[in-house]
Amino acid sequence: MISKLFQFLSSLRLTVVLLGLGVVVVFFGTLGQTSDGLYVAQERYFRSWFSYWTPHGAAFPVVPLPGGYLLGTMLVINLIVAHFTRFKWTWSKSGIFLTHIGIILLLLGQLATDMLARESIMSFREGDTRNYSESSMDFELAFLRSAGSNTLDQVVAIPAVRLKPGDELHHELLPFGIRVKEAYENARIRLRAPVMDSNRPPAATQGVGARIVIDAQPPTRTMDARNVPAAVIELSGPSNLGTWAVSGELKPQVVTVEGTEWRLEYRSVRDYKPFALTLLKTTHETYPGTDIPKNFQSRVRLRNTESHEDREVDIYMNSPLRYGGYTFFQYQMGKEQLADGGRGTSALQVVRNPSWITPYLGCILVGVGLLVQFLMHLTKFIARRKPRAA
């Protein structure tokens, strides 16, 4: 029974089936991307164990599919088990072993990247200093209060996915409970107009919410636009603190509970760094007579108070800044649209990927393995031909 299992797991047929399924999943995932957008399609079809594809308008899932994790895991298992049951460990096959180890490393490295890598955006205007970067997709509802010293805040951040209408949230550090009354994946905030909104009450009873209405918008699935979520929450502590409207579009609001001021902000998830970058100057060059970008360059000042570093660095296309385990790539550049002439703006893509080396190592191993195997065959072939010629 066990040996039958091993036979199945190590069979070449399984490998072929898995690779074939891989092609199928990529096909349906690509189809799915047109309606779901890149990010959601990746989550659904590839960062999952099982998924399904539904054509437009169908009432039930039409095509069940294995997810990316399942395929990858099965391929790795298949390869490793085959090595231990079927393959013979001989020198003549050493090249093939190297190649297979390279492939295993590639697969495992991709899994590690998926689990560990973090990508975020740091965007600022000339003169701004940032010691954090922001997620381009995820939002959090952050409650901040002064942490005693003048410069530090205590932050309790609730991920946006936890805000579902009807949910009740509590945290030991918050002096109030949070009840989510409304939650929107994408919404616009508008000042409440007297004639237009006479039959719509204000979004909330406290803070800015008392003067605005929330217009829900269909979630966007394109690459260039972003969903800005909003919610209406009810805070209840020792006394009822009323309802508050929060949105990615609003600036922080202040709730005072028993003498302590809490700021409440619905913002992109932040990743704080132990160092800060200040944008000094942006350079945006295009090829003369066209709009085609030639050079996006940001000059930043890197300051790390702990290690007493303070230096200026240029970040431009193909020349990122690597520091502190992060890599800062020049991502976007622009200019503020203000009547009095705005400052230049720059967005850096901040990537942290501990397993960045695995694709390189994996490919090198595969290449070396193939080379070794071919050379061995070549020498054997030449050796066999020589006596005949004689």
What Cα–Cα distance (Å) separates residue 195 from each residue in 200, 210, 215?
10, 16, 16
d(CA 175, CA 296): 47
Contact set with another protein (CB under 8 A)? 2, 6, 9, 49, 69, 73, 76-77, 80-81, 84, 111, 114-115, 131-132, 138, 140, 144, 146-147, 150-159, 161-162, 169, 171, 173, 189-191, 193-196, 199, 206-208, 211-212, 249-254, 256, 261, 270, 272, 339
d(CA 66, CA 275): 42
**Shortest distance, CB of residue 327 to another protein, whole angstroms?**
21
What Cα–Cα distance (Å) separates residue 225 from each residue in 8, 136, 141, 219, 323?
47, 10, 21, 10, 30
**Shortest distance, CB of residue 15 to another protein, whole angstroms?**
16
**Shortest distance, CB of residue 373 to another protein, whole angstroms?**
24
Our CB check for another protein shows the closer of 231 and 373 to be 231
What Cα–Cα distance (Å) separates residue 146 from each residue in 7, 264, 266, 269?
63, 12, 18, 19
d(CA 344, CA 283): 8
Which of 72, 53, 81, 77 has the alpha carbon at shortest distance from 114? Answer: 72
What are the tokens at 8?
A: 């199945």
**Shortest distance, CB of residue 86 to another protein, whole angstroms?**
14
d(CA 119, CA 133): 9
**Shortest distance, CB of residue 388 to another protein, whole angstroms?**
45
Our CB check for another protein shows the closer of 199 and 290 to be 199
**Shortest distance, CB of residue 82 to another protein, whole angstroms?**
11
Our CB check for another protein shows the closer of 117 and 372 to be 117
**Shortest distance, CB of residue 194 to another protein, whole angstroms?**
6
- Cβ proximity of 319 and 296 under 8 Å: no
Instruction: Indicate the Cα dihedral angle 284, 285, 286, 291, nearest 10°.
Output: 20
Our CB check for another protein shows the closer of 296 and 351 to be 351
What are the tokens at 116?
A: 């560990």
Which of 205, 267, 265 has the alpha carbon at shortest distance from 240? Answer: 205
Our CB check for another protein shows the closer of 227 and 253 to be 253
Our CB check for another protein shows the closer of 177 and 297 to be 177
351 Cα distance to chain centroid:
9
**Shortest distance, CB of residue 17 to another protein, whole angstroms?**
18
Our CB check for another protein shows the closer of 66 and 207 to be 207
Instruction: Indicate the Cα dihedral angle 99, 103, 105, 111, nearest 10°.
Output: 180
Our CB check for another protein shows the closer of 56 and 251 to be 251
